[in-house]
Chain A
């Protein structure tokens, strides 16, 4: 029994979500191998080989895999699948895109967004926006899994010394190609991996206010910036800042919710944070039901005051 983890990487380095996924794979028992599929990805393969607990890295380097297109990457994973009892990827945009395609090609059900491994075939996963936790058992021959990264502590990025084995690339499907990419520029920590997240909601009132109020707080705390769906829909913040059931799931040490009422959808994305602070002028707001520290105040005076006090 061994597990294959699909690394998320930028060809040079391995992204943090991979480390949480390796931890989940190790919990399934057996050896953990990592697949680094990309183009010019030798650096990422070397980085993957240093991850603690990884016994082998499979590196496949081909132009057709440069952009992690679902059609090509899924075909590559399926070609390697017969050797594995478990195939895991982080439940990121990329993992969610590719893994169900892999599962269907193998004629198995995927287990999405697992938060615990109870046995090699039994997993916990949240349903209904995290309002219930289902324990599911898979009878399929190979378990295709996406891992909610906040459910597993990352393994160490250094300390391992796995062998890197080069693998033959699968053929290009020719069904799709990348024509453009637009990255949101940010010098702040990545939302998914940040120790502190400060999020703004509709209470900010405008894009200008969002920037004027939230940016100094994020900078002072070295925090990532997040937003509620209401704030994103109103155009106050870019959509990849959205925290919630349909956006990012975060579990930082400290989550500060500013002007966010706390709809079910939003809570699903942040209620596993260690400490939650809510600043809201409506003392009936549902966010106070999950906040460790609540401050009923006008955010436009409270937040600048907080920046001054830090």
Chain B
């Protein structure tokens, strides 16, 4: 079975982003970029499925500017077999990415698509669900455990208040939660090998997809700042302040 994984290039999770003073967006110039952490988990899961013999080939997908190639090379270094980049300068929103992925699924016919549950830049948490809808496939979001058994999958999902386990028919779209696995470190030999793996570049037009944004961003602003707090010297003062000043207990 072929597995498709989608990876996104985002501002590194350790970076404290700054809002541009003209309110047009977040300043990403010269900022460290890396693979979205949930997508690393997605690639790792695909590679583990291959190591277990459940997957035969792993195709990694990314869409965006040319530099997304680096993100795909990272996926190849983790263990994906080949990469597909949909190269565009346009702003891509989840619905557009889901449509690009659907077009690729139609072409590649994978039995399983794995995505991260959300990207840490737009925090949308939509693409996997949208892709499943467009394909008419089942979806298993926020997965913390995936077991394949013939033409079925058993997926444990993280939900409010605990866990739930679903049984779903393949083909299927899965989105990863944090505790699905711990992604491996990429080693230097694997980075070198990844440079030789095939990486195709397509355009949205090649896939026949209109990627025009549906949501218009009018402005991006700093969140309201909290007033400066105080340090209290001891527990007695803290409790007294909570009772008498803040009146919250």
A contact set with B: CB distance below 8 Å: 67, 69-71, 74, 92-94, 96-105, 107-113, 122, 126-140, 173-184, 190, 192, 196, 221, 229, 233, 238-240, 245-246, 248, 253-254, 264-265, 271, 274-277, 283, 288, 290-297, 302, 305-306, 309-310
Contact A100 B230 (CB under 8 A): no
**A279: nearest residue on chain B (CB-CB)?**
B238
If A109-B95, A292-B230, A295-B234 touch, whether A101 touches B216 (CB-CB below 8 Å) is no
> Chain A contacts of B230 at CB under 8 A?
292-294
Interface string of B154-183 (1 = CB under 8 A from A): 100111111111111100000001110000
**B121: nearest residue on chain A (CB-CB)?**
A128
If A109-B95, A138-B215, A275-B246 touch, whether A133 touches B164 (CB-CB below 8 Å) is no
Residue in B11, B98, B133, B220 whose CB lies within 8 Å of A74? B133
**B230: nearest residue on chain A (CB-CB)?**
A293
If A136-B218, A176-B168 touch, whether A309 touches B235 (CB-CB below 8 Å) is yes
> Chain B contacts of A290 at CB under 8 A?
226, 229
Q: Add 17 more A-B contacts to A94-B160, A101-B133, A196-B249 (CB < 8 A).
A: A67-B164, A93-B157, A93-B159, A93-B160, A103-B130, A104-B134, A108-B214, A110-B95, A122-B218, A127-B220, A128-B11, A137-B216, A177-B167, A182-B164, A245-B120, A246-B38, A292-B246
Contact B248 A196 (CB under 8 A): yes
Quote the shortest CB–CB distance from A230 to chain B (angstroms).
Answer: 12
Residue in A92, A182, A253 whose CB lies within 8 Å of B160? A92
A254 to B239, CA, bound (A): 12
A285 to B239, CA, bound (A): 21
A181 to B156, CA, bound (A): 9
Contact B223 A131 (CB under 8 A): yes
> Chain A contacts of B11 at CB under 8 A?
128
A126 to B17, CA, bound (A): 13
Quote the shortest CB–CB distance from B219 to chain A (angstroms).
Answer: 5
Q: Interface SS of chain B: helix, strand, loop or mixed? A: mixed
> Chain B contacts of A295 at CB under 8 A?
231-232, 234-235, 238
A99 to B122, CA, bound (A): 17
Sampled A-B contacts (13; CB under 8 Å): A70-B129, A93-B142, A112-B124, A132-B26, A135-B217, A181-B162, A190-B161, A239-B158, A264-B16, A293-B229, A293-B241, A295-B234, A296-B231
> Chain B contacts of A131 at CB under 8 A?
16-17, 19, 26, 223
Determine if B62 is an interface residue (Cβ-Cβ < 8 Å): no
**A90: nearest residue on chain B (CB-CB)?**
B160
Contact B129 A100 (CB under 8 A): yes
Q: Which of B124-166 contact A (CB under 8 A)?
A: 124-134, 137-142, 144, 154, 157-166
A99 to B161, CA, bound (A): 20
Determine if B67 is an interface residue (Cβ-Cβ < 8 Å): no
**A91: nearest residue on chain B (CB-CB)?**
B125
If A100-B126, A137-B216 touch, whether A94 touches B120 (CB-CB below 8 Å) is no
A108 to B85, CA, bound (A): 24
